Amino acid sequence: MNWTAVATIYKAEMARFWRTFLQSFISPVLSTSLYFVVFGSAIGSRIQEVDGIGYGAFIVPGLIMLSVITQSISNASFGIYFPKFIGNIYEILSAPINFLEVVAGFVGAAATKSLFIGVVILCTASLFVDLDIQHPIAMVAFLVLTCLSFSLMGFIIGIWAGNFEQLQLVPLLVVTPLVFLGGSFYSISMLPPVWQTITLFNPVVYLVSGFRWAFFGQADVPVLLSLCAIGGFTLACVAVIWWIFKTGWRIRA
Amino acid sequence: MAPILSIRELRKVYDGGFEALKGVSLDIEEGEILALLGPNGAGKTTLISTICGITTATSGRVSVGGFDNVAEFRAARALIGLVPQEITLEPFAKVHDTVSFSRGLFGKSADPARIEDILRKLSLWEKRDAKIMELSGGMKRRVLIAKALAHDPRILFLDEPTAGVDVELRRDMWEIVDELKAGGVTIILTTHYIEEAEAIADRVGVITGGELLLVEAKEQLMARMGQKQLEVQLTAPVGAIPDALAQHELQLVNGGGALLYTYDTRAERTGITTLLNDVAQAGLVLADVQTRESSLEDIFVGLVSGDGASADDVQGDAA
């Protein structure tokens, strides 16, 4: 492994994060606070407890997942798309580094950024609601795996995208609906039976469910299944990226 | 001594079916400057990109410093620095940071003294904290060179380094290339400016339509392919070439004030002595004589337009 190269890419990507720190940091803090003002204070008090948990606290895991997933995809896709767009991808392609090192640098940085944002949201949320995390290690594991897997997915989107519009296409048309319909703000047991079955085809359900279990000890689907789902998703993304670098799809003519 | 870069039967067919390289073979010795001369779309950039790993070859083999550029890509690429044709720099990055980034990407540990040395040589040190977008076009080209040199490559590819730059900067670039050569760096530059190849190259390769027509030492090429012209200026203009001089196939120029004789420098006899004798016998009085060598440009135009020697005739040194 060319660890110096990995660290170089990682640091350069993190430098971009710090350059846009206000945007990177303030934006999720502000939007999370707004969610809590609306759902926690304004209408949250009129919503019944879900599975014995106050609604304000119930939405915290889903809210973190929503931000972490969208941030991971956007950070990683932009990270690799930008050099493609301005043309300095030539440097990456002609350097003595393999695909694992490229991915480790770009995806590692993207995942770090979204992990940071996830933690910021968690801290912000704890200002509004009392949070008692029952399985902290599992919580961290789910958070890290989610950051990692969706950053991998973002990396694939960044390589696939041919323009800025396409860069936004998958996050807007696929990921956001999946996250909103994946039980981020409700328990799937609240859905009619048919929709409960349909929902199980949504991979985000397994993430949110597992993550919520780490907080409250309650899950819509078995925790092990959640872990397998996210592990499988991560491996699938790695396989796709391996294939991309092997064939040069959309990066190497 | 084994060549530092060895290319064998390199072919590149793009997905659309366009064959950009049609079996190019070429050896490049360590420390030399090779200019690849060719019109737009000749395959120059594809050749460089394929050697550097930016595009994949359809077939053929490239060996860099004895390392295969696919199987041993790490060792091969570590020897190469690439200055691309287009200015492709992140606009918000600072000069020093982007050059250090390039060094790190090649797995070399940070070396601020080395980076400072490179930036100073390229007159970029004063601009080290400037953002790329604040620099002039010429400065950006220098940054591209600095990035390519940041990991101390043994071979430097310059893809059209002076395309669209002013004369002053072009001269600066040539000086930089000279300095690099003095430091032992092998340089391969592509250009469609013949003047550039003539000014700085040790050897010249002519590429067109994905084929390497020839590779030869610059002087040898000019001597071999070049024709010379002798202009015989007369004290008094003549209305026509005297019959006695018909065998010399002269041209009447300067309104009859001069005779132009074209001869081959490679020929056993140039025919100059006979010509001058015949001119004197025809009763013409010489005012002056001067000779002109054909430039690389004349040779190049002759080659790519098919007037010169065919690829088969002249490829001797290329393989």
Residues of A in contact with B108 (CB under 8 A): 4
> CA angle, corner A62, sides to A57 and A63, nearest 5?
80
B69 and B158 housed in the same domain: yes
CB distance A95–B80 less than 8 Å? no
pLDDT mean over B260-275: 83
User: Looking at residue B245, which CATH number applies to its domain?
Assistant: 3.30.70
CB distance B73–A96 less than 8 Å? yes
User: Which one of B170, B197, B223 terminates a domain?
Assistant: B223
Decide if the complex's ipTM is over 0.90: no
Residues of A in contact with B132 (CB under 8 A): none
Q: How many domains does chain B have?
A: 2
pLDDT mean over A181-207: 86
Check: CB of residue A55 under 8 Å from CB of residue A63.
no
Pick from B45, B49, B94, B105 the residue to mutate for testing the A interface (most A CBs within 10 Å): B105
Residue B42 distance to chain A (closest CA, Å): 17
C-beta atoms surrounding B168 within 10 Å: 9
Which two three-digit tokens encode residue A1? 């492994």
Q: Cα dist. B294→A253, B199, B262, B264 in Å?
A: 39, 15, 10, 11
CB distance A253–B91 less than 8 Å? no
Residue A207 distance to chain B (closest CA, Å): 35
Check: CB of residue A55 under 8 Å from CB of residue A49.
yes
- In this prediction, residue A245 has a pLDDT band, given cuts at 50, 70 and 90, of confident
| Burial grade of A191 (CB within 10 A; 0-12, 13-18, 19 or more) | middle
pLDDT mean over A187-209: 87
Residue B206 distance to chain A (closest CA, Å): 24
Strand B5-13 and strand B19-28: the pairing is antiparallel
Q: Closest by alpha carbon to A80, among A193, A198, A161, A177?
A: A161
| Partner-chain residue, chosen from B54, B108, B147, that has the shortest CB–CB distance to A252 | B54
Which two three-digit tokens encode residue B276? 């001058």
| Partner-chain residue, chosen from A5, A248, A252, that has the shortest CB–CB distance to B107 | A5
| Partner-chain residue, chosen from A2, A12, A94, that has the shortest CB–CB distance to B101 | A12
pLDDT mean over B5-32: 94
Residue B62 distance to chain A (closest CA, Å): 14
Q: Map B171-203 to HEC letters.
A: HHHHHHHHHHHHCCCEEEEEECCHHHHHHHCCE
Which two three-digit tokens encode residue A8? 């170089």
Task: Determine the pLDDT at residue B296.
Answer: 67
Q: Cα dist. B182→A127, B31, B79, B147, B178 in Å?
A: 66, 8, 17, 19, 6
pLDDT in tens, B42-65: 899 999 999 999 999 999 999 999
User: Which one of B174, B203, B223 terminates a domain?
Assistant: B223
- Closest Cα in chain A to B72: A96
Gap between the Cα atoms of A22 and A10, Å rounded? 20
CB distance A94–B92 less than 8 Å? no
B213 and B240 housed in the same domain: no
B61 and B178 housed in the same domain: yes
B144 domain residue, yes or no: no
Which two three-digit tokens encode residue B19? 């064959």
Gap between the Cα atoms of A37 and A60, Å rounded? 13
CB within 8 Å of A117: residues ≥ 6 apart: A24, A25, A28, A67, A68, A71
Task: Determine the pLDDT at residue B317.
Answer: 37
Q: Which ranges in chain A belong to alpha helices (H)?
A: 3-19, 21-35, 55-86, 89-94, 99-128, 136-160, 164-170, 176-180, 193-199, 203-216, 223-247
B179 and B284 housed in the same domain: no
Residues of B in contact with A1 (CB under 8 A): none
Residue B31 domain boundaries: 5-79+154-223
pLDDT mean over B128-147: 93
Q: Which of A174-183, B122-131, B276-285 has the highest mean pLDDT?
A: B122-131
Supply the DSSP symbol for A50. B
Check: CB of residue B180 under 8 Å from CB of residue B83.
no
Q: Which residues of B touch A (CB under 8 A)?
A: 14-15, 49, 52-56, 73-78, 80, 82, 84, 86, 88-93, 97, 101-102, 104-109, 147
User: Which one of B196, B223, B250 terminates a domain?
Assistant: B223
The beta-strand segments (E) located in B135-257 are: 155-159, 186-191, 203-208, 211-217, 227-234, 251-253
B163 domain residue, yes or no: yes
How many Cα atoms occupy the beta-carbon half-sphere of B32 within 13 Å? 20
Gap between the Cα atoms of B264 and B271, Å rounded? 9
CB distance B90–A90 less than 8 Å? no
